[in-house]
């Protein structure tokens, strides 16, 4: 059995630079991985059996990206004559649905990494990244495990050392559907591309989804005003999580205290390397 983290991510900025003929959007973003997120338990079962333990509200089993990841790994391993088996996947959910923090994508990436180790399938990180891209545009960054500059539909990744950072997350409880946000006719789709640079060199750290999100949700507007009163507030992904960068851990805790009576807030740490790799190394050594 493996017990592994599935970390959340922040988009420190997000620009939509075009739309491809196949309907997918070209974008630029800067992913920062966090030291907080979901947790998964992976138990090996006999071949052919895949089970999801527990209930994920609003996500039927057939739409569960974690199960789809396990099934895809089974199919690929079987096709190549590599070891594979079954699994029971238990998800301990902390990342809200529709929050823009990449929860489902991170869960899928952790399943790929964990079952590859549990079954001894022997796929490389590059091979798992390619499988992850078939599941969703955000899955590759979680498989790669590095904070990164991303382009294309989010699959062209350049690892970027951002150093340890501290953030306050405000989770407004007003989830936004990614598909609906991308389909909004008011979404700007022609932003001028930026050259890759350190965040300090980026002029505004803007998110092209923010104006749409604020227009759609009064709850989000009120939360944004509250956070903006304490510093430069931003939004992750297509929403709805808002965040603020703090000077240090103490400052993050002070900001959290100022907001916690009225909002669901959390102080988190931004990291360059996903915690799933350390957990995987520690547990597979003892297997």
Q: Which residues are catalytic, by number?
A: 9, 138
What is the CB neighbour count within 10 angstroms for residue 96?
18
Structure tokens at 91: 């998800």
- Read off the DSSP letter of residue 153: T
User: In sequence order, what are the residues at sequence separation of 6 or more whose Cβ sits closer than 8 angstroms to the Cβ of residue 67?
Assistant: 50, 52, 61, 89
Residue keyed to tokens 């609003």: 58
Question: What gap in Å lies between CA 268 and CA 140, rounded to an integer?
Answer: 22
CA dist 279 to 3, 98, 233, 282, Å? 8, 26, 32, 5
- Read off the DSSP letter of residue 96: P
User: In sequence order, what are the residues at sequence separation of 6 or more whose Cβ sits closer than 8 angstroms to the Cβ of residue 275?
Assistant: 5, 7, 35
- Read off the DSSP letter of residue 54: S
Structure tokens at 148: 């990164």
Question: For the residues of 164-208, what is the DSSP string, one character each?
Answer: -EEEEEE--S----HHHHHH-TTS---PPPPPP--GGGSSS--BT
């Amino acid at each position: 059995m493996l017990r592994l983290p599935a970390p959340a991510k922040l988009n420190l900025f997000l620009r939509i630079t075009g739309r491809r003929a196949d309907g997918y959007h070209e974008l630029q973003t800067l992913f920062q991985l966090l030291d907080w997120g979901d947790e998964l338990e992976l138990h090996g079962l006999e071949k052919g059996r895949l089970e999801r333990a527990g209930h994920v509200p609003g996500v039927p089993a057939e739409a569960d990206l974690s199960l789809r990841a396990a099934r895809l790994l089974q199919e690929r391993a079987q096709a190549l004559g590599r070891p594979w088996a079954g699994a029971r996947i238990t998800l301990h959910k902390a990342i809200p649905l529709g929050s823009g923090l990449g929860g489902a994508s991170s869960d899928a990436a952790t399943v790929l990494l964990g079952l590859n180790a549990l079954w001894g399938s022997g796929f490389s990180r590059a091979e798992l990244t390619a499988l992850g891209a078939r599941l969703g545009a955000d899955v590759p960054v979680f498989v790669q495990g590095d904070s990164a500059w991303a382009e294309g539909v989010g699959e062209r990744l350049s690892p970027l050392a951002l150093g340890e950072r501290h953030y306050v997350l405000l989770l407004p409880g007003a989830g936004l559907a990614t598909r609906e946000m991308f389909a909004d006719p008011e979404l700007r789709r022609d932003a001028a591309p930026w050259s890759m640079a350190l965040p300090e060199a980026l002029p505004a750290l803007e998110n092209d989804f923010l104006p749409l999100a604020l227009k759609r949700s009064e709850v989000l507007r009120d939360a944004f005003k509250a956070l903006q009163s304490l510093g430069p507030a931003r939004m992750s992904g297509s929403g709805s999580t808002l965040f603020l960068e703090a000077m240090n851990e103490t400052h993050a805790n002070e900001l959290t205290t100022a907001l916690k009576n009225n909002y669901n807030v959390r102080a988190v740490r931004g990291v360059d390397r996903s915690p799933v790799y350390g957990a995987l190394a520690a547990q597979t050594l003892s297997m």
